[in-house]
Structure 1
């Protein structure tokens, strides 16, 4: 494609500690799709012991890790990163957290032993241990329907209109039950699977341009329209005087993988 005069900086939070379940694939997808679209993309890491500087990134990504690693990053985050990242996200910087990373974004998250622990406090969500009414982990294929407003934005973000699925697909595996605060919207409505908790019938969270999701698998390779949406939101914020449109990539294999999950596991 013809190169666009756009550039983005992506920041991977705690890549050495929060790197389980293949969710680093989400960052790879964002970087590669930027390259294919002709967007200059810089990927940087923000690790333990490093101080966050506000206004230096367009998109944060955070995956999940083992309990000890997740606990370790909490103190580091509050001491060295909270103020800058909180200011960024309040100003509309894009942030994606997946599974453990999603739980960490809230006020409390759940340890493997059922203990609730202080989270990062980026958005108003809490993850609690399953109650007596929840007998099992929330595990299996997850198919959800995007909110109408987000889907309408997705349909308008390409230079040439295209037919996009309104669904997102992935795989969930969590015991923690996540509950959203008053100012946080669910990302999507659950069609197949659980999502945030065993009874909510909604998956994920959105506050401004901060997104959380329980979808592994990884989330973005099988949902290229959502990957583009994150890129588009980041570009719209970085270039507010420009009407940003994206070139439509072919995505035949990606959308075929998406459709297969919907067809096989959908009701």
Structure 2
């Protein structure tokens, strides 16, 4: 079986090593015997989103968000329906912001988002940067590195990815980090996030397999994560 992964706008939204997330998904699938196709979708491409098993998006500057905005809005209805249908998606930093209603810059300009996630982001004048640890009821401790000035606020009924143990998270007020919505994981955690948090990678893979009629229990053979776990142990001990 071939699993297809789409990277959304990697030309403009891949500044913080987020390609590593795609690489982890690819390698964990291949080690379990699956063929993997990676498709890059950039502005103007006619990618058939209905053929995609997992979507991945990364971080970028305000200028990159502006470049991709028109294409994202043109494909927003498709992405919104796929999200409702349970297609797994991992959206990091800038793409996390643009999956919401809008991102408001320091100048007061609004970059309209795809309105897939019930969130809004407002630029701040202080960067939230450093090692971060959050606790998730679903995934346990999640480790990573944040670097953003945008402050994201969730609707009251929206579920965060986790609660901040160390770091800033979505904003400087509520101790929430990220969003869990359908099978979307959206977060500010770079690093990239998946190498040190294989439980999240396997969640995305498992949901993709379930949609293809393969039970995650049978399709997700155990992988030796000794090195990943050692990296996690180190990351948990790092100072902010």
Superposed pair shares fold, TM > 0.5: yes
| Residue 238 of structure 1: aligned partner | 212
| Residue 162 of structure 1: aligned partner | none
Q: In the aligned structure 2, how far is the partner of 1:123 from the partner of 1:218?
A: 22
Q: In the aligned structure 2, how far is the partner of 1:112 from the partner of 1:128?
A: 8
Does the Cα contact within 8 Å between 1:54 and 1:87 map onto a contact in 2? Answer: no
Q: In the aligned structure 1, how far is the partner of 2:8 from the partner of 2:31?
A: 24
Larger Rg: 1
Question: After the TM superposition, which residues 52-131 of structure 1 pair with which residues of structure 2 at under 5 Å, given as runs?
Answer: 52-79=47-74, 81-111=75-105, 115-130=109-124
| Residue 154 of structure 1: aligned partner | none
Say whether residues 1:259 and 2:233 are aligned partners: yes
Aligned residues: 240
Residues 46-83 of structure 1 deviation map (CA, whole Å, 9 limit, x = unaligned): 1211234342111101112232221121111212x222
Q: In the aligned structure 2, how far is the partner of 1:129 from the partner of 1:179?
A: 11
Residue 112 of structure 1, CA deviation:
6.4
Does the Cα contact within 8 Å between 2:209 and 2:215 map onto a contact in 1? Answer: no
127, 133, 142: which is aligned to 1:143?
133
| Structure 1 stretches of at least 4 aligned residues deviating more than 6 Å after TM superposition | none
Does the Cα contact within 8 Å between 2:106 and 2:123 map onto a contact in 1? Answer: no
Relative to 1, partners in 2 of residues 1:36 and 1:196: Cα closer, same or farther, differing over 3 Å? same
Runs of 5+ unmatched residues, structure 2: none
> Which secondary structure does the structure 2 equivalent of 1:122 belong to?
coil
Question: After the TM superposition, which residues 1-267 of structure 1 pair with which residues of structure 2 at under 5 Å, given as runs?
Answer: 6-79=1-74, 81-111=75-105, 115-130=109-124, 136-147=126-137, 150-151=138-139, 166-239=140-213, 244-265=218-239
Q: In the aligned structure 1, how far is the partner of 2:121 from the partner of 2:232?
A: 28
Q: In the aligned structure 1, how far is the partner of 2:128 from the partner of 2:108?
A: 14
> Which secondary structure does the structure 2 equivalent of 1:175 belong to?
strand
Q: In the aligned structure 2, how far is the partner of 1:93 from the partner of 1:184?
A: 18
Does the Cα contact within 8 Å between 1:9 and 1:57 map onto a contact in 2? Answer: yes
Residue 91 of structure 1, CA deviation:
0.4
Q: In the aligned structure 1, how far is the partner of 2:153 from the partner of 2:33?
A: 39
Q: In the aligned structure 2, how far is the partner of 1:244 from the partner of 1:112?
A: 49
> Which secondary structure does the structure 1 equivalent of 2:196 belong to?
coil
Does the Cα contact within 8 Å between 2:99 and 2:114 map onto a contact in 1? Answer: yes
Runs of 5+ unmatched residues, structure 1: 1-5, 152-165
- Answer 1 or 2: which has greater strand percent: 2
Does the Cα contact within 8 Å between 1:115 and 1:129 map onto a contact in 2? Answer: no
> Which secondary structure does the structure 1 equivalent of 2:193 belong to?
coil
Residue 110 of structure 1, CA deviation:
4.2
Residues 210-265 of structure 1 deviation map (CA, whole Å, 9 limit, x = unaligned): 11110011111111121111111211222167754511111111110111111234
Relative to 1, partners in 2 of residues 1:56 and 1:192: Cα closer, same or farther, differing over 3 Å? same
Does the Cα contact within 8 Å between 1:96 and 1:211 map onto a contact in 2? Answer: yes
